[in-house]
């Protein structure tokens, strides 16, 4: 497709910024903190959330670091944990935001991999189905449904199942017409008991050694929005019952690692804007900083790296597949 002059100038600017930035950033930021064979033998990916602001509010800086990190670890895919387009989602597959907030921002070669995407509450303000339909138009945007499952082979003996949830309709607050405009009409069309029944059946059927759950809203959080009581009641017990090792989400605009008993909870909702965060009884790490989460998933362990928009490695931890808790490692 022929680029407009505006799109061409923006792409040229992004490429120039990336080239300049690479001269001042640490080479192979994650190389020394990951196992020697992690780049080739592990399933490597990046988690980002709450990002679509037409390149503004740190989105561009996060994108540059995200591209460098994805290159350093050899990321196979990106996971977007929702709130993909602010403030009100997209109107159609031809909405200008597809270029201004996605195609013209995440341009580095390392980010031209599959993006596995879920919806956030801001995406529910407008046309959620357009984000599903865009999967047919984009070679990297992947959202086959509002909730779905993906499986990945780590090695010949190890499989990872990822369960992508649509959490907005699960929370009662979005049924209040005074809370967020348009959300009430959108969530009322969704069959929440049906989704939870699907989730339970999918977990029960999974034979994977790793089970990872993706949602937009936190289960527990020290961020602005705090805990999601409906998820504590309806999702957390299933996660605990079926041996899920980790839950990744966004919604709170920060980077956090929390524990719910033996379950690791990672919040990576700092793709473009930051809000204050605080420590709770569940907190292992919390930082009000724009950034991303890099994950290296091997047969027996999952290495987590949280990186800010300047390329600083803020936090690292290792989750053992059969361990009852994560093992913090100094950054």
112-127 tens-digit pLDDT: 999 999 999 999 999 9
The torsion angles phi and psi of 172, rounded to 5 degrees, stand at -60, -30
pLDDT at 105 over 80: yes
* pLDDT of 29 above 80: no
For the beta sheet containing 158-164, the strands, ordered from the edge strand earlier in sequence to the opposite edge, are 148-155, 158-164, 210-214, 246-249, 263-268, 255-260, 283-287
Which pLDDT score, from 0 to 100, does residue 99 have? 97
pTM of the full predicted structure? 0.88
Residue 107 has pLDDT above 90, yes or no: yes
Question: In this predicted model, what pLDDT tens digit does every residue of 141-182 receive, in sequence order?
Answer: 999 999 999 999 999 999 999 999 999 999 999 999 888 778
Q: What pLDDT score was predicted for residue 34?
A: 62
pLDDT at residue 262 above 60?
yes
What would the mean pLDDT of 302-317 be, rounded to a whole number? Answer: 98
Q: Percent of the chain at pLDDT above 70?
A: 85
Q: How far is CA 133 from CA 104, 136, 143, 265, in A?
A: 19, 6, 8, 30
Q: How confident is the model over 238-246, as a mean pLDDT?
A: 97
Candidates 51, 16, 44, 47; CA nearest to 30 is 44
Both tokens assigned to 11 = 């792409």
Helix H or strand E segment including 313 = strand 313-320
DSSP labels, 234-279: HTHHHHHHTT--EEEE-SSSSEEEEEETTEEEEEE--SS-------
CB neighbourhood size of 149 (10 A): 17
Which DSSP symbol is given to 144? S
Strands 115-117 and 313-320: unpaired
- What pLDDT shows up at residue 307? 98
Three-class DSSP category at 55:
coil
Cis omega (within 30 of 0) for bond into 238: no
**Tell me, what's the pLDDT at 178?**
86
pLDDT value, residue 38: 63
pLDDT exceeds cutoff 50 at 12: no
Of the candidates 78, 208, 214, which has an alpha carbon nearest to the alpha carbon of residue 155? 208
Residue 193 · residue 135 · CB < 8 Å: no
What pLDDT band is residue 27 in, cutting at 50, 70 and 90?
very low
Q: pLDDT tens-digit profile of 194-207?
A: 999 999 999 999 99
pLDDT of 60 over the 70 cut: yes
Residue in 331, 310, 314, 211 with CA at minimum distance from that of residue 268: 314
Domains and CATH numbers, the chain: 22-323 (3.60.21.10)
Determine contact, residues 121/251, Cβ cutoff 8 Å: yes
The answer, yes or no, to whether residue 98 has pLDDT greater than 60, is: yes
Across the range 304-311, mean pLDDT stands at 97
Residue 299 has pLDDT above 50, yes or no: yes
Mean pLDDT (the chain, rounded): 90
Taking the C-alpha atoms of residue 199 and residue 250, their distance in angstroms, rounded to an integer, is 19
């Amino acid at each position: 497709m022929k680029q407009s002059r505006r799109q061409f100038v923006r792409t040229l600017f992004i490429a120039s910024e990336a080239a300049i930035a690479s001269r001042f950033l640490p080479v192979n930021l994650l190389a020394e903190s990951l196992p020697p064979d992690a780049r080739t033998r592990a399933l490597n990916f990046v988690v980002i959330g709450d990002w679509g602001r037409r390149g503004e509010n740190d989105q561009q800086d996060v994108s540059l670091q995200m591209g460098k990190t994805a290159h350093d670890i050899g990321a196979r895919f990106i996971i977007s944990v929702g709130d993909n387009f602010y403030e009100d989602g997209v109107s159609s597959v031809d909405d200008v935001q597809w270029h201004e907030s996605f195609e013209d921002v995440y341009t580095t070669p390392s980010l031209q991999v599959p993006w596995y995407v879920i919806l956030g509450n801001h995406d529910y303000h407008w046309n959620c189905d357009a984000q599903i339909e865009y999967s047919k138009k984009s070679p990297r945007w992947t959202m086959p449904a509002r909730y779905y499952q993906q499986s990945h082979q780590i090695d010949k003996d190890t499989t990872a199942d990822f369960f992508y949830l649509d959490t907005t309709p699960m929370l009662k607050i979005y049924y209040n017409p005074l809370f967020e405009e348009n959300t009430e009409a959108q969530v009322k069309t969704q069959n929440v008991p049906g989704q939870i029944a699907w989730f339970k059946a999918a977990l029960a059927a999974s034979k994977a050694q790793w089970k990872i759950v993706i949602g937009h809203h936190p289960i527990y959080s020290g961020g602005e929005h705090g805990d999601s009581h409906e998820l504590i009641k309806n999702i957390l017990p299933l996660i605990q019952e079926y041996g899920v090792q980790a839950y990744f989400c966004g919604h709170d605009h920060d980077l956090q690692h929390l524990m719910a008993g033996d379950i690791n909870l990672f919040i990576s909702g700092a793709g473009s804007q930051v809000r204050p965060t605080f420590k709770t009884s569940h907190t292992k790490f919390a930082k009000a900083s724009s950034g991303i989460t890099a994950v290296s998933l091997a047969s027996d362990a999952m290495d987590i790296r949280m990186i800010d928009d300047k390329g600083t490695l803020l936090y690292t931890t290792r989750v053992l597949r059969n361990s009852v808790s994560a093992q913090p490692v100094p950054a």
